[in-house]
Amino acid sequence: MSVVEDGALRGATGAKRPSRLFRNPMAKIASIPMILTAMVVFVGGTLWTVVHSFTGSKLLPKLNWVGFDQYERLWDTPRWLISISNLALYGICSLILTLTIGFILAALLDRKIRFESAFRTIFLYPFALSFVVTGLAWQWILNPDFGLQSLVQGWGWESFQFDPLNNPDIVMFGLLIAGIWQGSGLIMCIMLAGLRGIDEDIWKAARVDGIGTVKTYVRIVIPMMRPVFITSLVLIASGIIKLYDLVVAQTNGGPGISSEVPAKYVINYMFQAQNLGQGFAASTMMLCSVIIILIPWAYLEFGGRKNA
């Protein structure tokens, strides 16, 4: 890592000031369309949305300013508050559990077990399904009359109760099960690749020093796998923020509004309620929450290195 950085540094200082902008002109010209797309579509679209969130736009975007009215209404709306707390609950649980389960599965597969590729395929298979299919499948599995509950009751455990999708208090865990089932396979694969990247000599050295397997994982291997964890973290976090299709397919926000999520609020208010201003205000708040998480992380990840 440091070698690459030194090389880049030397190149930058050696090339002097004017050439920095004009170095590799062809590559820069070639990337102009992409830069324009990014600027116009992403940055432009974001700015347009933020600006219109301060208007009273209904079905059509209009520039009739209403100040912070949309935001005041948003934060007075119980459905939005429930959406936020649901997302926080789902996010924290999903982050911890997906990482833990993904790593444990990867570590187990890494112990050179028999039929490793068969297990790997089985664990990764759910990821090949879209969230809509996942949601529907788990809606059926968790259906109290046909699914898991009736199966276990049929085995003789008559008092068995597991009906999360119809219980407002635990419905988010019903979604969480489906989300983890779908997502942990991919994380497992990434972790497995990371584990395979650990030099065999490190294991040998640890064994010579008489360090136990679990301790080697926790103290040596996991710290070495930091980039892999960062990648997994970004993948999981982006999946959490855009959580929408799973909810639509599995519970559609129900029972009542107890499994609503922010993205669904945005879509519903923009299109079903024909209130663009309210939808834009909600999506701007989603953007803010992403930025609040992203900036400290980016600072630690990229800003910290310069000082070190």
Q: Say if CB 250 and CB 139 are below 8 A apart.
A: yes
Of 59 and 205, which CB lies nearer to another protein in the complex structure? Answer: 59
**Distance between CA atoms of residues 249 and 272, nearest Å:** 17
One residue of 116, 129, 148, 254 binding another protein per CB under 8 A: 254
One residue of 70, 278, 283, 284 binding another protein per CB under 8 A: 278
- Decide if residue 147 touches another protein (CB under 8 A): no
Residue 24 zone, left/alpha/beta (φ > 0; ψ -120 to 50; rest) = left
Of 166 and 231, which CB lies nearer to another protein in the complex structure? Answer: 166
Q: How far is the CB of 273 from another protein (least distance, A)?
A: 4
One residue of 11, 45, 227, 255 binding another protein per CB under 8 A: 255
- Decide if residue 146 touches another protein (CB under 8 A): no
Single-letter residue type at 26: M
**Distance between CA atoms of residues 90 and 94, nearest Å:** 6
* Nearest residue to 260 via CA among 177, 184, 179, 175: 175
- Sign of the dihedral defined by the CA atoms of residues 195, 190, 305, 7, in that order: positive
Q: How far is the CB of 255 from another protein (least distance, A)?
A: 4
Q: Which residue has the tokens 């520039």?
A: 63
Q: Which residues contact 141 (CB under 8 A, 6 or more apart)?
A: 147, 148
- Decide if residue 158 touches another protein (CB under 8 A): no
**Distance between CA atoms of residues 262 and 258, nearest Å:** 12
- Sign of the dihedral defined by the CA atoms of residues 171, 172, 173, 175, in that order: positive
**Of residues 60-119, those binding another protein (CB under 8 A):** 60, 73, 77-79
Of 61 and 224, which CB lies nearer to another protein in the complex structure? Answer: 61
Of 11 and 255, which CB lies nearer to another protein in the complex structure? Answer: 255
One residue of 40, 271, 292, 299 binding another protein per CB under 8 A: 271
Of 58 and 242, which CB lies nearer to another protein in the complex structure? Answer: 58
One residue of 37, 121, 150, 274 binding another protein per CB under 8 A: 274
**Distance between CA atoms of residues 156 and 43, nearest Å:** 59
The DSSP-derived string for 110-156 is: TTT-TTHHHHHHHHHGGGGS-HHHHHHHHHHHT-TTTSHHHHHHHTT
Of 49 and 268, which CB lies nearer to another protein in the complex structure? Answer: 268
- Decide if residue 59 touches another protein (CB under 8 A): yes
Of 264 and 286, which CB lies nearer to another protein in the complex structure? Answer: 264
Whether residue 255 is preceded by a cis peptide bond, meaning omega within 30 degrees of 0, is yes
One residue of 49, 153, 231, 268 binding another protein per CB under 8 A: 268
How many chain residues touch another protein (CB under 8 A)? 25
- Decide if residue 275 touches another protein (CB under 8 A): yes
Residues forming contacts to another protein in the complex (CB under 8 A) are 58-60, 73, 77-79, 144, 166, 168, 252-258, 268-269, 271-275, 278
